[in-house]
Structure 1
Amino acid sequence: MNLLQRFSDAFLKDINLGVLLINLDYQLADISDRACQMLALEREHILNKSLDDIFATVPSQHQLVQRSLLNGAIVRNHAVSWTNNQERFDLLLDSSVLKDSQGNIVGAYVIFKDVTNMRSLEQMVQRSDRLAMIGQIAAGTAHEIRNPLTSIKGFLQVFRRAFGERDMCKEQNFTDVMLEEIDRINALVNEFLLLSKPRHVAYEPILVSEVLRGMVPIIHNEAILYNVQLHYEASCHVPEVIADNELLKQVFLNVCKNGIEAMPDGGVLTISERVDTIERNVCVDIHDTGSGIPMFVIDKIFDPFFTTKDTGTGLGLSVCQRIIHDMGGTIRVGSKGFGTTFTISIPYT
């Protein structure tokens, strides 16, 4: 085996890039290990098969490879998104043809790199800037909003009691509605203040398993209200992470509650733990069997004030992402039309 052949074999096996080699019959001649991982494909089942068959379930406009590639079409730094059954990847793709010594096309190649972490980091920086600005505004205006609300709420409670004493049920119902709306405004102000207050954070070594075990009864009670079954899959020998116990609870509760509410007709919420020894992260996967998140929405769910709920503020996931980011971790989401999985990853010591 010559040096070039050794390099070629090592390149496909060891390189941290997705590589597809395609022959003139539009069949997959070879594929790198990393491409198999990202595309959720098994090498022995796809080699020498037509790419039309391999990606038969993917709409033509979303396929990584087009037949026009064999006609000489060249692609450079093309950004695409790909979702397999577990994860969503942001990819940067290059493709071109392979020619023999006479200049005849003998095949083509596609090379793609996973830039998900870079894109996520860029988005988190942008969101952090927006959250910081919102926090500054909130800190300056919260008291100015709360003071008149307190007075209005006090007088409405007096009116409500007076209406009750005079059996003025209709008017009493009106005051109930107004009091509920005032409580909603107060809740929104409180969420604003979460962004502005550098509350006392107690980072210490904790076991994620213990945090989850303590929360399972709370999540179970919430699930019962929506006819949702809760499955908790613990993992053995999960290492400690450096985190704030209460903030971690807030994140898990928020994500689980979103998952439960995504299944109004019932379903299954699965919470599973695992250890990623390659990235040295403790990971918690929270999966629901709801209708999934549309692709045009999934990029926006961590944006401040973006919500698909009628009564949501759009700050819950933004706050969760900032909490996990401050712990050195990440929150990622994957959805492919048959449920959604949030993966919370926190580095372990």
Structure 2
Amino acid sequence: MYEARIGSYLGMPVYLSNGKLFGTVCAIDPEPYAFTEQEIETIKRLSSVVSVIIENAGKSSYDEFDDKLMRLEKLSLLGQLSAGLAHELRNPMQSVRGFVQFLFEDQKHNHFRDIVLSEMDRMNQLINDFLMATQPTAPKRDYYNINDLVSETVDFMKNEATLHNVDVALSFEVKKANVHVDKSQIKQVLINLMKNAIEAAGAEGGKVKVTVNVQNQQEVFIEIVDNGPGIPVSIIGRIGEPFFSTKDEGTGLGLSISQRIIQEHNGAIQFENLVAGTKVLVILPLVEEEEGLKY
């Protein structure tokens, strides 16, 4: 507690757009003082500015809430659609696939048969993505050194990188980082993120750098950095939203699935624009070393 010395006081009410009084903006002088007209006018303007700031802050909170609600509604609708689509489309697709193979038995038309079968396989994969995005399977976890999973993924993606003329570098800043994860699901996430990075950097001088490090004793960080054009600021908040994609043939499900998988592993995925390129950070919880650690 302290003794307030108030010789002069000037207070200006802060009203919201609905007419409610939010508070006051005050000016206090410990000595008796007569405020000038200019000072009174300044306090009035400051009161108006505070009112606008409060209104905008409240509006942003409501907009964020509405945005999250809309995303949940999309996921709910996606779940209902995917369950029905999977059943209704898979059976006729298998029949069509069989007829296509039968009709194109003539060796002269194998090229056309392969095109049709390839497109049907792509449709089937799209159905699988729908199901994975809305009804992910529970992770079948085991203990692994994350370095091994990352190394395997990078090796797997080297051919993709070569096709795009992209150089991929891998570095480990820690010898061992034990995690309790579903190996296939984590590799699926890393493949998807690396594929995006390679495509983003896919030009002359394209580079992708993958780094594994531990910045504390609780989490492991997997950084995937490319030197592509980066993510436009106007859409970075929508990354991972189902059906939202910047690719002409993208469904927007790849990152949505990846985020869902990492969340199931009590981790997080973060996106950051750099001066030149994009950094994607995958965070997973560390575990104590266990007997039977997989390599």
Which of 267, 275, 280 does residue 342 from structure 1 map onto?
A: 280
> 1:207 and 1:126, CA in 2 relative to 1: closer, same or farther beyond 3 A?
farther
Query: Given the alignment of the two structures, is residue 231 of structure 1 paired with residue 169 of structure 2, yes or no?
Result: yes
Q: Relative to 1, partners in 2 of residues 1:234 and 1:336: Cα closer, same or farther, differing over 3 Å?
A: closer
Contact 1:232 1:270 (8 Å CA) reproduced = yes
- Conservation of the 8 A alpha-carbon contact between 1:260 and 1:269: yes
- Displacement of 1:228 in angstroms is 0.9
Residue among 72, 78, 101 paired with 1:157? 101
Whether the 8 Å CA contact 1:238–1:282 is kept in 2: the answer is: no
Q: 1:314 aligns with which of 236, 242, 252?
A: 252
Would the alpha carbon gap of residues 243 and 78 (structure 1) be closer, same or farther in structure 2, given more than 3 Å must change?
A: farther
Cα distance in 1 between the residues matched to 2:241 and 2:213 = 27
Q: Deviations over 1:176-235 (max 9, x none)?
A: 544333222111111122235443522233321121122221122221111111111102
Residue deviations 1:278-310 (CA, integer Å, cap 9, x gap):
8x3211110001111111121222111111222
RMSD in angstroms over aligned alpha carbons? 3.1
Deviations 1:9-54 (A, max 9, x none): xxxxxxxxxxxxxxxxxxxxxxxxxxxxxxxxxxxxxxxxxxxxxx
Residue 265 in structure 1 maps to residue 209 in structure 2: no
Q: TM-score, normalised by structure 2?
A: 0.69
> Does the Cα contact within 8 Å between 2:147 and 2:177 map onto a contact in 1?
no
> For residue 292 of structure 2, what is the aligned residue in structure 1?
none
CA distance in 2 between counterparts of 1:250 and 1:310 reads 22
Closer/same/farther in 2, CA of residues 286 and 265 from structure 1, 3 Å limit: same
Q: What amino acid is aligned across from residue 220 of structure 2 in structure 1?
A: V
Task: Report the Cα distance in structure 1 between the residues aligned to 2:172 and 2:54, rounded to whole angstroms.
Answer: 41
Secondary structure of 1:272's counterpart equals strand
Q: 1:137 to 1:217 in 2, by over 3 A?
A: same
One-letter amino acid matched to 2:242: P
Write the letter of the residue equivalent to 2:184: E
Indicate how the Cα distance of structure 1 residues 77 and 231 shifts in structure 2: closer, same or farther if over 3 A, else same: farther
8 Å CA contact 1:287, 1:342 repeated in 2: yes
- What secondary structure sits across from 1:150 in the alignment? helix
1:135 paired residue among 72, 79, 100: 79
Distance 1:326 1:264 in 2: 31
Q: Give, as a single letter, the amino acid of the residue that structure 1 aligns with 2:216.
A: T
TM-aligned CA deviation for residue 238 of structure 1? 4.5
Aligned to 1:276, which of 205, 210, 215?
A: 215
TM-score (norm 1): 0.59
| 2-structure distance, mates of 1:200, 1:334 | 29
Deviations 1:48-106 (A, max 9, x none): xxxxxxxxxxxxxxxxxxxxxxx955474698xxxxxxxxxxxx8xxxxxxxxxxxxxx
Q: Distance in 1 between matches of 2:153 and 2:177?
A: 19
Q: Which has the higher contact order (CA 8 A, sep 6+)?
A: 2
Match of 2:183 in 1: 245
Asked if structure 2 preserves the Cα contact closer than 8 Å seen for 1:294 and 1:337, the reply is: no
User: Using the alignment, how far apart are the partners of 2:148 and 2:54 within structure 1?
Assistant: 44
% of aligned pairs identical? 34
User: Are the counterparts in 1 of residues 161 and 168 from structure 2 also a CA contact under 8 Å?
Assistant: yes
Consecutive unaligned residues in structure 2, runs of 5 or more: 1-44, 288-295
How many Å separate the matches in 1 of 2:136 and 2:191? Answer: 21
Task: Call closer, same or farther: CA 1:214–1:179 in 2, change over 3 Å.
Answer: closer
Query: What number of residue pairs does the alignment pair up?
Result: 235
**Map of 1:17 onto structure 2:** none
Partner of 2:33: none
Q: 1:145 aligns with which of 73, 76, 89?
A: 89
Residues 29-48 of structure 1 mapped to structure 2, 5 A cutoff: none
Residues 156 and 304 of structure 1: CA distance in aligned 2, closer, same or farther (over 3 Å) = same
SS of aligned partner of 2:235: helix
Shift of the 241–124 alpha-carbon distance from structure 1 to 2, 3 Å rule, reads farther
1:277 shift after superposition: 1.7
Q: Is the 1:202–1:243 Cα contact (8 Å) retained in structure 2?
A: yes
Cα distance in 2, alignment partners of residues 205 and 298 from structure 1? 33
1:275: how far off? 1.6
- The CA distance in 2 between the partners of 1:226 and 1:137, in whole Å, is 35
Larger radius of gyration: 2
